């Protein structure tokens, strides 16, 4: 029998633009169907930096516990919850990951069958401390309405953690996009975790040349390990024109058939529209800022382009991303996505390093506490 404390430590955002505070918060009672987990690893995301600054499009009420990419080890399960989303049994001691809770009864859930668009999605990493629904804590509470997936036993937490946000979103984006064509040349804009997992899916999806555009060197080195045929360092190729020329030369003068935008930089959209091949297809996954850029819409018609956007994911995408890692783990060093591990008490240092561009995927490591 695992002894569960009444309180635990959590990093709480109390004021926008200020450091998170380590506080003691109560651990909620586990309802029927609910799950209490001990947080093992919690990924830190660019979104957490924006959340701390208070410049997300949707502001979360204060105070809250951030952290939405968690691997948790089950310490208590409420009555009635016996399986994960694939039908596999779950029990105390198993590791799980989980999606935002969708309502299952709105138009988007029931008619459109696209729970990513659920009108009443209830997220993790944005809730009040009493709900204990953020990863930057010692424990986290998974509600009865939340679907979970069991992390396969053979995977280390380091290999699996990227599924918590970037990889599941990439799987969802690829599904919405309809995948890539055999031997399509693919340019990936942005070498962060979303770009790196997009690269993997292009390589495994039958791409011709894969060309990663981004920085810094550390990320581009991982891109090469993960199968990029070419990397273009934006610190060396500083202007869009230099990058487009280089890519045009690499793609027989026609430009790429597919571009995957994972940079989050609004101007990247115009750069992509300029270089993409006629008849090309453009998947947009990095954009989250309300900033505006002007475009010439007739480029879409004159080049006969297909543009698809995607944000976030649902539980099937978590499951498939974990299966991918399980099936390919001898081929790719998945754990290399982790650039640094920090104890919970150093959350502010981790966020600062993330903001300064010194990280690929930093994590809060609670194992052994
Ligand atoms: Zn994230
Ligand atoms: Zn819904």
Q: Report how far ligand 1's centroid is from the alpha carbon of 211 (Å).
A: 24
- Centroid of ligand 1 to alpha carbon of 71 (angstroms): 13
DSSP 207-273: -S-EEEEE--HHHHHHHHHTT-SEEEETTTS-SHHHHHHHHHHHTTTT--SEEEE-S--TTHHHHHH
Number of Cβ atoms within 10 Å of the Cβ of 153: 8
* Distance (Å) from CA 115 to ligand 2 centroid: 6
Per-residue confidence at 288, pLDDT binned at 50, 70, 90? confident
Nearest to 264 by CA among 282, 285, 292, 294: 285
Q: What is the C-alpha to C-alpha distance for residues 93 and 2, in angstroms, rounded to an integer?
A: 9
Angstrom distance (rounded) from CA 331 to CA 323: 14
Q: Is a pLDDT exceeding 90 seen at residue 158? A: yes
| Burial readout 298-311 (b: 16 or more C-beta within 10 A, e: otherwise) | eeeeebebebeebe
Ligand 1 centre distance from Cα of residue 54 (Å): 15
Cα angle at 43 between 366 and 117, to 5 degrees? 135
Question: What's the start-to-end Cα distance of the chain, in Å?
Answer: 18
* Mean pLDDT value of segment 87-116: 95
In three-state form (DSSP H/G/I as H, E/B as E, the rest C), the secondary structure along 74-118 is: EEEECCCCCECCCCCECCCCCEEEECCECCCCCHHHHCCCCHHHC
Ligand nearest to the CA of 122: 2
Ligand 2 ion: nearby residues, β-carbon < 5 Å: 102-103, 106, 109, 118
Give pLDDT tens digits for 239-265. Answer: 999 999 999 999 999 999 999 999 999
* Cα separation, 325 vs 3, whole angstroms: 33
CB 258 within 8 A of CB 283: yes
**Per-residue pLDDT, 56:** 78
Name the token pair of 139.
Answer: 């424990």
Say which ligand is closest to the CA of 113. Answer: 2
Residue 2 has pLDDT above 80, yes or no: no
- Could you say which ligand is closest to the alpha carbon of residue 312? 1
Which ligand is nearest to the Cα of residue 311, counting in written order?
1
Instruction: Determine the distance separating the centroid of ligand 2 and the alpha carbon of 100, expressed in angstroms.
Output: 11
CA 238/CA 232 separation, integer angstroms: 10
Distance 181 CA to ligand 1 centre (A): 28
For tokens 């101007």, the residue is 267
Q: At what angle do helices 217-225 and 193-204 cross, to 10 degrees?
A: 20
Say which ligand is closest to the CA of 363. Answer: 1
Residue pLDDT, tens place only, 300-352: 999 999 999 999 999 999 999 999 999 999 999 999 999 999 999 999 999 99
Distance of CA 228 to the CA centre of its chain: 20
Question: Quick one: which ligand is closest to 104's CA?
Answer: 2
Contact yes or no for 137/67 (Cβ under 8 A): yes
CB atoms within 5 A of ion ligand 1 belong to 45, 47, 165
Q: How confident is the model at residue 3 (pLDDT cuts 50, 70, 90)?
A: confident
- Average pLDDT for 159-176: 97
Exposed e or buried b per residue across 92-120, where buried means at least 16 C-beta atoms within 10 angstroms of its C-beta: eebbbbbbbbbeeebebbeeeeebbbbee
Report the distance separating Cα 231 and Cα 240, nearest Å: 15
Rounded distance between C-alpha atoms, residue 191 and residue 230, angstroms: 12
pLDDT of 60 reads: 85
Residues 334, 361 contacting (CB under 8 angstroms): no
Q: Minimum mean pLDDT among 18-32, 52-66, 74-88, 349-363: which range?
A: 52-66
Q: How far is the CA of 166 from the centre of ligand 1 (A)?
A: 6
């Amino acid at each position: 029998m695992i002894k569960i404390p009444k309180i635990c430590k959590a990093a709480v955002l109390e004021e926008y633009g200020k450091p998170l505070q380590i506080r003691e918060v109560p651990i909620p009672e586990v309802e029927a169907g609910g799950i209490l987990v001990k947080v093992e690893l919690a990924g830190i995301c660019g979104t957490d930096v924006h959340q701390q600054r208070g410049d997300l499009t949707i502001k979360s009420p204060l105070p809250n516990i951030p952290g939405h990419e968690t691997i948790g080890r089950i310490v208590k399960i409420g009555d009635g919850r016996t399986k994960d989303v694939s039908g596999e049994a779950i029990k105390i001691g198993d590791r799980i990951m989980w999606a935002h809770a969708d309502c299952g009864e709105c138009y988007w859930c029931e008619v459109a069958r696209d729970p990513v668009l659920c009108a009443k999605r209830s997220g993790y990493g944005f809730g009040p401390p009493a709900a204990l629904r953020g990863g930057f804590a010692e424990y986290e509470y998974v509600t009865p309405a939340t679907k979970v997936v069991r992390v396969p036993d053979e995977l280390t937490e380091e290999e699996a953690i990227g599924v918590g946000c970037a990889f599941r979103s990439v799987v969802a984006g690829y599904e919405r996009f309809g995948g890539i064509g055999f031997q399509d040349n693919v340019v990936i804009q942005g070498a962060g975790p979303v770009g790196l997992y997009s690269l993997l899916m292009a390589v495994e999806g039958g791409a011709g040349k894969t060309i990663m555009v981004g920085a810094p060197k550390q990320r581009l080195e991982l891109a090469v390990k993960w199968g990029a045929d070419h990397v273009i360092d934006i610190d060396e190729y500083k202007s869009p024109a230099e990058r487009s020329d280089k890519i045009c030369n690499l793609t027989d003068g026609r430009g790429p058939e597919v571009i995957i935008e994972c940079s989050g930089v609004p101007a990247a959209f115009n750069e992509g529209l300029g270089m993409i091949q006629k008849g090309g297809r453009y998947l947009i996954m990095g954009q989250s800022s309300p900033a505006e850029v002007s475009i010439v819409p007739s480029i879409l018609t004159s080049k006969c382009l297909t543009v698809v956007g995607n944000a976030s994911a649902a539980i099937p995408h978590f499951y498939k991303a974990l299966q991918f890692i399980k099936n390919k783990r001898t081929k790719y060093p998945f754990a290399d996505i982790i650039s640094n591990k920090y104890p919970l008490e150093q959350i502010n240092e981790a966020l600062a390093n993330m903001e300064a561009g010194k990280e690929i995927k930093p994590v809060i490591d609670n194992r052994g506490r």
